[in-house]
A and B are shown apart, each in its own frame.
Chain A
């Protein structure tokens, strides 16, 4: 009884009697006793609860330790993965193709992949290429075969498409006027029954597999010259093949994985996607010895002309001394295909949400690209600026490496450009020769960071100003009398035909015959003589040795320059003040060089080649070199032709075109 009551300090007897008394009292009071019991039970319950809590806490603590480890590191912006288009294992695609005078559309499995009902646009044959395994659109083109030569482009394109691809054709408005026999034969070989007989304003749709079956064709003849064929709607089914069959079996390397990704997405790039012996996508050109531009970032300004970009990047990556890690391609807009091209070559690309329109859009894209370039390469003192429609000379970097120190040291320089505005086949001769010019040619040039950061960037034209960035850069407020260094023979070639300020005629007249250096490792001569003061000495030396041409002859005639080689000749033209280019413009016109505005001048002096002789033109009396004119010689004056009515206003700039 008393063994559980250990309290030796208390006298047991007395205690006992007290206890018993208390107990009996208690027993008599049922209610109190019950309370005591309930208390004990409650106490037990609390113990149990504490117990359970302990177990829970311990478990939670253990769990938290693992969980918390990641908690701080959670990305607050939860990137919700957009579920990919459900992969349907369907083996059949429903294809709908519509052709009519004013509207065409193509729908694949209910999804419209082409719809064109714009007026005055999209005339000709629309072609869509589908992947035969996935049904994805790989290429979309329109060939205006109402106009000449477009059929040749179409043949070229169709030949580049890999065998087995699904081709969809539809005509909008008119597509037969300049569709020649060759093109018709190609269409016939694809299985078209109608193609050889396509005629004026017919409507036509055709779906077939390259080198295989025909899935359907519909055609409506135009009843009369003045009317169109009835709209036709072709509905057909295309059977998909397995992915295995649709792909080439290249050896599994990193490069080929890039190639595979590219080739399963897009079409129209020819041999890069050939199963047998595809064109390389890595070029490993010779490195340059003592390359001073190896660490200079290269910004490639691009729009949505992926085929141009492809050609451009090939030539850029083949240039000696190129450093692919420094190249960034800036794409104006969220276009996929240019990005695919960039990834094919393993370069980095940045997309830019278009701001503003037309010229201003290009300007804003330039600004963003240049700022980003200097942000990405904060160490860089320079940036090379290229555009997507340029071929790059094999010695482009060698040319820059030899001349870039001038830009660093000579404050009177504005840029180094790879482009000579006046360097045509018949006016450029010496790949080792450089000039100083007061105009900024663009088309492949080097920009000094300090110029951009301190002067240009803060006051760059804002989006609402529809200015051309290059025209703006040429304005005296920006240029401040500084000059650019250019080569006699350009290190870039402008091949773009479609663009904001560009069309076929314009390109043919002003760009096609431009000379382009193809000789590797050209050693530039006398780079030091390009410095501000040295250049004056050099010019005076040249003028001193130059033979004065016979000013009684017509300078436009070939006989104006004697049939010699390697001589230096000078002629004097009238130039009343610094901005008087009347005679020069006429001379430029008859020499078939750039005459749309004044380019390539240095203090009223132009330097070019005629018949392999160095040919100097001095404007008298505005030029400081006028003193070299013998007093007997009268400067030539050429009258501008009487103003023609409706003279075609030609865009003055061609450096910044985008589609």
Chain B
């Protein structure tokens, strides 16, 4: 009997532990899902206590900066999203008192504002006042990218982000700088070693994971929730801009190393070609931007940017890429109007389209259209005399902004893969003889155009 009892006890124990284990697994699963949705659950938990805190902190902050005459504007994507829904109403009654707190009361950890660097004087007084008002503040400084491209200059580090914290709410102030190419730039937020990592939950910030590039916004003074703030005049386009604002700095250090190995061509011809290529690129950018066609630096021009932060003087043309879905029939007339006659047109919109325009003084502008497939992107080439088709394959990429010859332009964010696909692993070594039919490492034969289509798909002027 004793032996049986022992078995019973054991079995009982096993059963309870099984039940317990199941319970724990359930709990763990629940916990994980809760963690992922932390932002929301937390909000729910603290709604009653926090809603006015945020409004008060924002009001205090606006008071602080207006007492120092610092013009900031609201760029908080969540609030701008809300504002955008009622933008007509807000615009029409800029001074009306708000019946309820709609925008600044949703409890969040942050409210984000922007500051144009050149509009304030870096007065220390601001921070003293902030401290007196009870704010804790954090300044994130880093190297000035506008001097990064310069050999051997070391300027003072510049402030990129400020965080003002009061009670449970923090104001994230993003500092925007003007860059050559007539755009605004903000830096990444990187904490130095000694900094307090728990000052605020940095991961939840909307700005600072990457540097970003923006157009200079037009501002609008509005009164919302009884607070007067400046906002971008068109919040929806700002939000749209924000969603792909990621900026890549040129790799100046690597470019310097490249020039150590292969000294730059300083001949008059090279100087002249660079000048022409630059003005052609400026003209092309202007034309395409006016049409609203998104483009990026491709082939040799992209390689020049990536490898040496400049136009490659022995390349003979300027290369741009455009997704075929962005193709517009206006492109050709627009370029012709800008003084760039069509030189040749290969392929058709459905297949392997490529346009060439004749710039001044023998510099050619090549526009390649890119076709997206499930796992790769390709563009086509055509040999005029034989009607042979070629296909150049690229891994999938997204677009980032960069600054190139005083222009804000797109480049593939995954530039290395892009360049390597095109030029192979030896892309770092300058090659002066380049055959576009055989040299690229991603070229594939793609058949021949049917002879009856030749008139259409091979047009040379």
Contacts and interface: CB of A to CB of B under 8 A. Distances in A.
On whether the two chains bind one another, the answer is yes
Interface of A: 1, 4, 23, 27, 36-37, 40-41, 43-44, 47, 50-51, 54, 57-58, 61, 65-76, 78-81, 254, 325, 334, 348-353, 355, 368, 371-372, 374-379, 453-454, 458-459, 462
B203 A351 contact: no
Contacts of A377: 178
Given A43-B14, A44-B17, A368 B152 contact: yes
Interface string B91-127: 0000000000000000000000000001001011100
A27 B1 CA distance: 11
A377 B150 CA distance: 15
Given A350-B153, A378-B182, A54 B209 contact: no
Contact of B179 (A325, A334, A378): A378
B222 interface: no
Nearest to B182: A378
Given A67-B197, A378-B178, A47 B147 contact: no
B81 interface: no
A76 B118 CA distance: 28
Contacts of A58: 28, 31
B38 A65 contact: yes
Contact of A375 (B180, B198, B203): B180
Nearest to A353: B152
Contacts of B197: 67, 69-70
Contacts of B27: 54
B150 A372 contact: yes
A40 B11 contact: yes
A351 B154 CA distance: 5
Contact of A73 (B124, B151, B152, B189): B189
A40 B191 contact: no
Q: How large is the interface on B (under 10, 10 to 19, 20 to 34, 35 or more residues)?
A: 35 or more
Given A1-B4, A69-B201, A70-B191, A350 B147 contact: yes
Q: Which of A351, A376, A453: most chain B Cβ within 10 A? A: A376
A275 to B, nearest CB: 23
Given A47-B21, A350-B153, A368-B152, A74 B191 contact: yes
A350 B154 contact: yes
Contacts of A353: 151-154
Contacts of B209: 72-73
A283 to B, nearest CB: 15
Contact of A54 (B28, B178, B182, B198): B28
Contacts of B155: 348-351, 372
B274 interface: yes
A251 B238 CA distance: 46
Contacts of A61: 31-32, 35
A73 B193 CA distance: 11
A376 B147 contact: yes
Contacts of B38: 65
A654 B184 CA distance: 40
Nearest to A348: B156
Given A73-B202, A350-B153, 11 more contacts: A4-B15, A36-B7, A58-B28, A61-B35, A69-B202, A76-B190, A81-B194, A368-B152, A375-B149, A375-B180, A459-B268
A371 B147 CA distance: 9
B24 interface: yes
Contacts of A27: 3
B271 interface: yes
A462 B178 contact: no
Contacts, number: 149
Interface string B77-98: 0000000000000000000000
B211 to A, nearest CB: 13
B147 A375 contact: yes
Contacts of A81: 193-194
B416 interface: no
Nearest to B208: A73
7 contacts: A4-B8, A47-B18, A61-B35, A67-B197, A70-B202, A73-B188, A79-B193
A69 B204 contact: yes
B431 interface: no
A88 to B, nearest CB: 24
B181 interface: yes
A621 B10 CA distance: 125
B146 interface: yes
A50 B21 contact: yes
A221 B204 CA distance: 77
A73 B31 contact: no
Nearest to B266: A462
B192 interface: yes
B40 interface: no
Nearest to B194: A81
A69 B142 CA distance: 20
A1 B15 CA distance: 16
A349 B31 CA distance: 54
A67 B202 CA distance: 10
Nearest to A58: B31
Given A43-B17, A47-B20, A375-B147, A78 B193 contact: yes
Contact of B198 (A44, A69, A355): A69
B153 A74 contact: no
B203 A68 contact: yes
Given A4-B12, A44-B17, A378 B152 contact: no
Given A40-B14, A57-B28, A78-B193, A379 B178 contact: yes
Interface string B20-62: 1100100110011001001000000000000000000000000
A75 B180 contact: no
A375 B146 contact: yes
B140 to A, nearest CB: 9
B203 A70 contact: yes
Given A43-B14, A72-B209, A368 B150 contact: yes
Nearest to A375: B146
Nearest to B1: A1
Contacts of A378: 146, 178-182, 406
Given A43-B17, A378-B181, A75 B193 contact: yes
Interface string B142-184: 1010110111111110000000000000000000001111100
Contact of B24 (A51, A67, A355): A51
Contacts of A459: 266, 268, 271
B121 A325 contact: yes
A334 B153 CA distance: 10
A47 B179 CA distance: 61
B13 interface: yes
B190 A50 contact: no
B328 interface: no
B118 A325 contact: yes
B16 to A, nearest CB: 9
Contacts of A375: 146-147, 149-150, 180
Nearest to A23: B4
A353 B8 CA distance: 85
Given A254-B124, A368-B151, A376 B208 contact: no
Given A348-B156, A351-B154, A254 B10 contact: no
B275 interface: yes
A71 B197 CA distance: 8
A349 B156 contact: yes
Given A368-B151, A378-B180, A462-B266, A70 B17 contact: no
A309 B197 CA distance: 41
Nearest to A460: B266
Nearest to A459: B271
B165 to A, nearest CB: 14
A79 B192 contact: yes
B117 to A, nearest CB: 10
A389 B80 CA distance: 52
Given A4-B12, A47-B20, A325-B118, A73 B180 contact: no
A223 B351 CA distance: 100
A452 to B, nearest CB: 12
A293 B14 CA distance: 87
A27 B2 CA distance: 12
